[in-house]
Structure formats: structure tokens, C-alpha cells
Amino acid sequence: MPSATTFEYQTLKYSIDSSVATISIDRPEKLNALSSAVLDDLRHLVTDLRVREDVRVVVITGSGEKAFVAGADIAELAALNDSEEGREFAQNGQAVFSLIESSPKPFIAAVNGFALGGGCELALACHIRICSENAKFGQPEVNLGIIPGYGGTQRLTRVLGRTLATDLILTGRQMDSREALEQGLVARVVPQSELLALAKTMAVTIASKAPMAISSALECIVEGIDESIEEGLGREAERFGQLTTSSDFHEGTSAFLQKRKPDFQGK
Ligand code: COA
């Protein structure tokens, strides 16, 4: 019997198998654009997945073969005409993406086509990005008279550095998968037919490790990037020390010495 469970959301498809949850943003006719309904569904689902005991890793992709996510929904954006409302629009998306970035469980973005605007920002909020050969990344907001509002000015700059992030954000140009790999925006590029299988293999590999080690490593990486080296090293030593008191640490070291596979319980 397959262990996958499927739940119905208005704008997302979602399944769980082997401790890996896979989310598809599911508006292919609008290139999976992030409407407020998508953000509401994502907030609800991510909040749930962060605490579910049967999930250790999450993969996010887009439905169809053309787009991961082609940005915030421009039809909704076009209705904005009030600075307070506009600020709240940005903060709403930022809050959902921060829920992803601060998750104790890793999120892998499997970018299967256009990742523009909010789509690029969604991928940037994930901890690992892989993509198909046809993927295109970009922050084209200046073409619409706005700037990235779901974290792009901050996370793209942290991932790519100031020079390239400024190039992308000011020109609105698209970066192809080859350049994305060269510049470290993605970890791997594969043909589209292999993308989800690669994402799931990576997810299952990570899910087989000690969950507290994974969440501690994520915390040190995500929080450490905005800290001084002294603070980051302090955090790393603190988490390292805590992990030496975990059952999983004793299981991992015993399993190594006994030449068997460890059975990690997340304790
Ligand atoms: N918001 C709302 N609808 C969008 C959208 C978005 N961000 N991106 C694409 N769509 C819709 C199109 O309006 C079209 O809908 P329709 O068939 O009802 O007219 C459908 O998705 C297909 O898109 P289309 O533009 O016809 O596909 P294309 O292959 O010609 O171009 C893109 C693909 C990605 C280059 C183009 O859709 C695009 O530039 N999208 C907007 C990207 C953007 O600016 N994102 C940042 C928003 S802040």
C-alpha cells in the first residue's frame, strides 16, 4: 500500500510519501501566479507541514511544464492604489515566505520553468534550489513600475551578491539555468523529466538524517548569515553542544561503531 496521503487545497496539490511532502502550485493556466488565494493556501499548508511528525522535508514545484511561478498575480496587483494597502500586500507575501525560510524542516524548490518576481522570491525563501534546463529566473518588477516586494531585494542580494542582484533587479532581465548554476543560484540543473525525481532523491536523503541535526544546521545557516562571525560561531557551538545530548547522536555514533544503519527518531 502506498503511504502517500493527498489533501485538497483550492490552489495547491499536496502529497506525502516517505516523510517527504511535495507541494505543486496549481494554476497552470496562469503560469501558477501567486494570487492571494495561493498565498492563503501556502500559509495554511506550510504552517501545518512545519509541525507534522510524518514530514521531514518539503519539495515545492509548479504544475505544468512551463512555469514554477510567474510572479505575483498581476491582475490583483493592478488594483493597488494606496500605499498602506500596497505595504500590506508586500508584507503578506513576505510573511508566508519567512514561514518557509524559518522552517526547521528543509524546503527544496524544484524550479520547472519560469521563476519570475514572486516565483524567484519563493525559490529564494527555500533552503535548496534545483531546476530544469528550461528554467528562467528574474525579478521583472521594474517593468511594472514597482520593485520586488516578497523579499527579492534582500534574499537575491544575499544569495548572488550585490553586483549580480543589482543587475537582475534593475534590468529585469531573465537568467537561464546555465547561468543560475554558474552563479550559485541553484545547486543542480537536470532535464525537466528528471527534476522531480532528483528533488525527491535529495529530500529522501535529507529525511534519513537526524532531524534535530538538520534543523540545527538550517538555523545556523539561515540566522548566521545576518550575524557577525563571532555570533554565528557562538550559535554553531551552542547547537553542537545541545546535539551531543540528543538520543539521535548516540544512535548515530553507536550505529557507526556497530556497522549498521542508524534509526533516527528526532529526539
Ligand atoms: N500574473 C497573472 N497572470 C499571469 C502572470 C502573472 N504574473 N504571468 C502569466 N500570467 C497569465 C497570462 O496573463 C496568460 O493568461 P491568459 O491566457 O488568460 O491571457 C497566461 O498566464 C499565460 O501567460 P502568457 O503571457 O500568455 O505566456 P507567454 O509564454 O507568452 O509568456 C511570461 C510567459 C512568463 C514571459 C509572461 O507570462 C510574463 O511576462 N508574465 C509576467 C511575469 C512578471 O512580470 N512577473 C512579476 C510580477 S510582479
Confidence of residue 195 (pLDDT cuts 50, 70, 90): very high
Contact yes or no for 134/154 (Cβ under 8 A): no
What's the CA angle centered on 16, arms 13 and 17, to 5 degrees? Answer: 135
Residues 129 and 220 grouped into a single domain: no
Question: 10 lies in a domain?
Answer: yes
Atom 44 in ligand 1: residue holding the nearest Cα: 140
pLDDT at position 2 is 41
Same structural domain, 236 and 114? no
Task: Indicate which atom in ligand 1 lies nearest the CA of residue 73.
Answer: 1
Distance in angstroms (rounded) separating the CA atoms of residues 92 and 134:
30
> In terms of residue numbers, what domain contains 245?
211-257
The ligand 1 atom nearest the CA atom of 74: 1
Tell me how many domains the chain contains. Answer: 2
Domain co-membership, 43 together with 145: yes
Q: Are residues 179 and 219 in the same domain?
A: no
Distance 252 CA to ligand 1 centre (A): 49
Together in a domain, 140 and 171: yes
Query: Domain check: are 162 and 198 in the same one?
Result: yes
**Percentage with pLDDT > 90 across the chain:** 97
Q: What is the largest CA-CA distance in the chain?
A: 66
Task: Please indicate, yes or no, whether residues 86 and 28 belong to a single structural domain of this protein.
Answer: yes
Torsion sign across C-alpha atoms 17, 22, 27, 31: negative
- Residue 265 forms part of a structural domain: no
- Is 121 in the active site? yes
Instruction: Determine if ligand 1 sits within 6 Å of the CB of residue 33.
Output: yes
Which pTM was predicted? 0.96
User: Could you tell me the distance, in angstroms and rounded to a whole number, from the CA of residue 114 to the centre of ligand 1?
Assistant: 10
Predicted confidence band of residue 178 (pLDDT cuts 50, 70, 90)? very high
Assess whether 137 and 243 both reside in one domain: no
